[in-house]
A and B are shown apart, each in its own frame.
Chain A
């Protein structure tokens, strides 16, 4: 495999929401389709779905306290080498931790109190540099059409995977300018063609004003940095989206990377990974990713119990983040030469039949174009 194939951008299927794959997915019955769900006792599911403010107050409270502590530490130690390790922790809490809070509060499941979900959602959307309106709709689509090519706007590891870009994004080198550009584009009143596909007309003005509010805060931070003639303000606001996002890439890419596309079964296109309590605190249990997609109403604190209730029907989870990446990396490199390759999740004996898709034949091969 040559260098060119490693840095190929596109060249495989059309992952935009406005191309041929969109029509193909719709015609193949993959858009807004019925998805496989593991049968679960109704009373148990209702119990797991019950909301409470307590767990999220403790989780988000600790997160904010640690942010304040490390942020204050960074200010106090700025100008010395001691600021570096403190900023590394602050950056992870900011760049990685905000994604999890954005996600959970976007679903409205973190807190029982809706206003708490809304406040934390807006704050964390700003921190992760996502337009809270646009991304609410993007994530809605991701749940409707998970890893359906031409429908899902949140596919990260496309085929062939853009390995250089993925590697650069460990430190947000491509993602940060892209995010800033998207916010600026929204702020001047423009939504991309893909965004217009999933953000409904009545929401677009709010998306524009939200972007303007984000831009105003960033401009204030830049002004503070210029006036103080110091990088510190930007190390605290904005840049953690780059230097603190490496852990998010490590934890979030395994959600779907290397797995199948265009199936109607989250057991085949999503991955659950066993993680330690520290990572699960930062990630708000989103390592239980198959379970989350199958039952998105179950709040983060009930996902371990949901996992116990449905694991008999799910592929065995990756035993660690390291083990997950040992599966993923070879698969991604193989997809450079063979974009049709994917890791076939193995279902346990007695599990429900996999829900492939109307366009697959009995052997699971694609009968309708694609890879």
Chain B
């Protein structure tokens, strides 16, 4: 598929992520995180903190917020919005669907 086109990626099984947890997902040289709240309430966003590029996969997920493990920078997992210092720059979120126990993320290919 040509670069720039959207593609639905079969990222992982939903069972690979505990509730209120996060999984790192790499695709085409970029890092994302897939965040699961409760049940099938699931989100995907850029995988590194916009403050110092720390991987968010080691962060804390709580109340639809993911906190960076290094300095507690917080992002709303639904919108990617940076919520509190030391983060200002929002992260990008990506559409996610759960079908037959698999998590599909729509990314730019």
Contacts and interface: CB of A to CB of B under 8 A. Distances in A.
A95 interface: no
Nearest to B73: A140
Contacts of A144: 52, 70-71
B86 A51 contact: no
Contacts of A107: 72
A203 interface: yes
B86 A140 contact: yes
Interface residues of A, number: 22
Interface in B8-66: 18, 21, 52, 58-60, 62
Interface of chain A: mostly helix, strand, loop or mixed: helix
B85 A297 contact: no
Contact of A203 (B59, B60, B85): B85
Interface in A60-114: 107-109, 112, 114
A200 B21 contact: no
Contacts of A143: 70-71
A125 to B, nearest CB: 14
A8 interface: no
Contact of A108 (B18, B58, B67): B67
A370 interface: no
A112 B71 contact: no
A132 B40 CA distance: 39
B88 to A, nearest CB: 7
B69 A297 contact: yes
Interface in A312-363: none
B72 A137 contact: no
Contacts of A295: 69
Interface of A: 32, 43, 45-46, 49, 51, 107-109, 112, 114, 136-137, 140, 143-144, 200, 202-203, 295-297
Given A43-B18, A140-B86, 13 more contacts: A108-B72, A108-B84, A109-B72, A112-B62, A136-B85, A136-B86, A140-B71, A144-B52, A202-B88, A203-B85, A296-B71, A296-B72, A297-B59
Interface of B: 18, 21, 52, 58-60, 62, 67, 69-72, 84-86, 88
**A-B pairs, 4 with minimum CB distance:** A108-B72, A140-B71, A49-B60, A140-B86
